[in-house]
Amino acid sequence: MSLRDLPSVDHLLAQAGDLVTVYGRPLTTEMIRETLDGIRAQYNGQAVIPSPAEIVSQARARLAALTAPTLRPVVNASGVILHTNLGRAPMSLSAIAHMEAVARGYSTLEYDLDQGARGSRSLHAESLLTRLTGAEAALVVNNNAAAVLLSLSALAHRQGVLISRSQLVEIGGGFRVPDVMKQSGAKLVEVGTTNRTHLNDFKEAIDPSGKTALILRAHHSNFKIIGFTTEPSLEELCSLGLPVVDDLGSGALLDTAAYGLAHEPMVQESIRAGAALVAFSGDKLLGGPQAGILVGQKDLVAKLKKHPLARAVRADKLCLAALTATLLHYLRDEATRAIPVWRMISMPLADVEERARRWVAELGAGEVVEGASTVGGGSLPGETLPTQLVALAVKSPNAFAAKLRAQDPPIIARVAEARSHSTRARCWRRQRRHC
């Protein structure tokens, strides 16, 4: 047989009616042509030409691979609650329902029902945020990096911004505070040393001609400096007379110390301490969608809303829908029951152990052992939560972990001490139900 024996595209399409129904004629045609091109490229003059049925089967495989989603639900058994690579915070059922309701049709995203005219999307979460934090005003953008960039661009363009050298941090993905400041047009003024910065260092760095716009405080969200260290408190920085922008990174509305962890700075505390603006994330310890949230003084937030960059980084309707539903959980004092992240953090150890033992009984394998989970997501560095693990001793842990990742849904476990550990950090679910 030779390449002249290959069936035509039209002949193959006639045998691929089910593919046309599922994938459409144009895409099916394209995949058939690519399959034929691949056969021609590999033909060496002696190879057997595939039958039409085999060619259609190859095209089917190409179509399936091409259209398979790459963003897929997984079971997080890694031991990290806020796993950035796995999408950080799972959202509450109420947040999901609100997103679905808004996504199904039209909404009042920028429409004022009372006036019958155009409204503002910035209003949807603002009243909830101000009530929960004590701030005068609020603005939601698409992530916390954008919140910091917008703040610096709107309030400190071509002016000095003071920041301690110990806070010139880099977080995941190569995000560096000095780079963001440079992009905003603000002038970086480094203060103090790597391990020790004093209030007087800030005082001496203030430009007497008025060219210093503000002080930026960046929380040590993903590392610790220990030993011979000191930094001025937020209250002390606010006493210097310059606006202080407090970048909390994760940001919490509940006290993590109440659940056996170190105290993570709370947004309300920063507002009470006198911060002019506080920036934090929506999808970390808040437990909602990806968002950058800014709360603070009304006049400064008004400047941010009017800045041209605000439109480029604004939050969409799905984000705002999920965020408002998440904030309502805090307002109703039900966060530890309704928000998955807080439900996992606050879950009693006895309940974790009971769940682990049920899994061992159902699997008919493994054992329950003591372990630790981390919060993750750039919060509470070095802190762990005691937990109970389902430990499986296997001959090839890495190969077994690969098999778990090949499941539907994939299971992302961790390997330690030659065992594959499934931990409390994800709230085990055998079906696609929210824990």
Tally of domains within the chain = 3
Same domain, 97 and 205: yes
Chosen domain end from 338, 359, 392? 338
Q: State the greatest distance between any 2 C-alpha atoms of the chain, in Å, as a whole number.
A: 88
The DSSP H or E segment spanning 111 is strand 111-112
Shared domain check, 316 and 230: yes
CATH code where residue 100 lies: 3.40.640.10
Same domain, 170 and 58: no
What whole-number percentage of the chain has pLDDT above 90?
Answer: 76
CA quadruple 46, 47, 49, 51: dihedral positive or negative? positive
The verdict on 398 and 317 lying in the same domain is no
Q: What is the mean pLDDT of the chain?
A: 90
Q: Is the pLDDT of residue 154 over 50?
A: yes
Alpha-carbon torsion, ordered 143, 148, 151, 153, to 10 deg:
-100
CATH classification at residue 391: 3.90.1150.180
Distance CA 140, CA 147 (A): 8
Answer with the one of 338, 371, 404 that is the final residue of a domain.
Answer: 338
Residue 343: closest CA among 423, 391, 285 = 285
Task: Please report whether residue 307 resides in a domain.
Answer: yes
Question: Does residue 270 form part of some domain?
Answer: yes
Are both 202 and 279 inside the same structural domain?
yes
What pLDDT shows up at residue 370? 93
In a domain, 24, yes or no: yes
Does residue 413 belong to any structural domain of this protein?
yes
Q: pLDDT for 189-235, tens place per residue? A: 999 888 899 999 999 999 999 999 999 998 876 566 777 778 899 99
Give yes or no for residue 421 having a pLDDT over 70.
no
Domain boundary among 19, 34, 67: 67
Give the pLDDT confidence score for residue 69 in this predicted structure: 93
Q: Where are the alpha helices (DSSP H) in 216-278?
A: 234-238, 267-273
pLDDT score at 88: 93
- Position 193 scores a pLDDT of 87
The residue behind tokens 């603006």 is 277
Q: Say how far apart CA 148 and CA 249 lie, in whole Å.
A: 10
Chain position carrying tokens 């990290």: 80
Same domain, 306 and 223: yes
Check pLDDT > 80 for residue 180: yes
Gap between the Cα atoms of 423 and 413, Å rounded: 8
Cβ neighbours of residue 121 closer than 8 Å, sequence gap 6 or more? 109, 110, 314, 315, 317, 320
> Does residue 81 share a domain with residue 62?
no
Q: Which domain holds residue 54?
A: 3-67
In a domain, 432, yes or no: no
Please indicate, yes or no, if residue 434 is contained in any of the structural domains.
Answer: no
In the predicted model, is pLDDT for residue 279 greater than 90?
A: yes
Q: CA Rg, the chain, in Å?
A: 27
- Is 20 within a domain? yes
Q: What does DSSP say about strands 244-249 and 175-176: parallel, antiparallel, or unpaired? A: unpaired
Residues 334 and 287 in one domain: yes
To which H or E segment does residue 368 belong?
strand 367-376
Are 319 and 237 in a shared domain?
yes
Same domain, 111 and 22: no
DSSP assignment letter at 251: -
